[in-house]
Amino acid sequence: DGGITQSPKYLFRKEGQNVTLSCEQNLNHDAMYWYRQDPGQGLRLIYYSQIVNDFQKGDIAEGYSVSREKKESFPLTVTSAQKNPTAFYLCASSFGETQYFGPGTRLLVL
């Protein structure tokens, strides 16, 4: 089954804790992206990667980190430096201009 998978669906973070969100795609897409969505808002770009072992900051990269060791995987770590991490996180991939999105992960702070 081709597509983009994200896990977990829900994630709870304690104060001072780093958490990692998984994003995997089997579409053979070169580019991958992480977006954050706050309630009632559009999506904002956190990080993107156009090729393995390379990634760039988006508009709101502070408090987040990524890696791109494999073409299929683009995990996002929400660090303790991100003071307001509660949001819906969406991963996407693209081949050419069109982006395709995963089902998202909802992160809540305890």
Partner 1 sequence: GIQVEQSPPDLILQEGANSTLRCNFSDSVNNLQWFHQNPWGQLINLFYIPSGTKQNGRLSATTVATERYSLLYISSSQTTDSGVYFCAATFQTGANNLFFGTGTRLTVIP
Distance CA 105, CA 38 (A): 12
In the list 22, 58, 65, 71, the residue contacting partner 1 (rule: CB under 8 A) is 58
Distance CA 70, CA 74 (A): 8
Only one residue has tokens 């760039």, namely 56
Please provide the size of the chain in residues. 110
In the list 1, 39, 97, 110, the residue contacting partner 1 (rule: CB under 8 A) is 97
Least spacing, CB of residue 52 vs partner 1, in Å: 15
> Which residues of this protein are in contact with partner 1, per CB under 8 A?
31, 33, 35, 37, 40-45, 48, 50, 58-59, 88, 90, 92, 94, 97-101, 103-104, 106
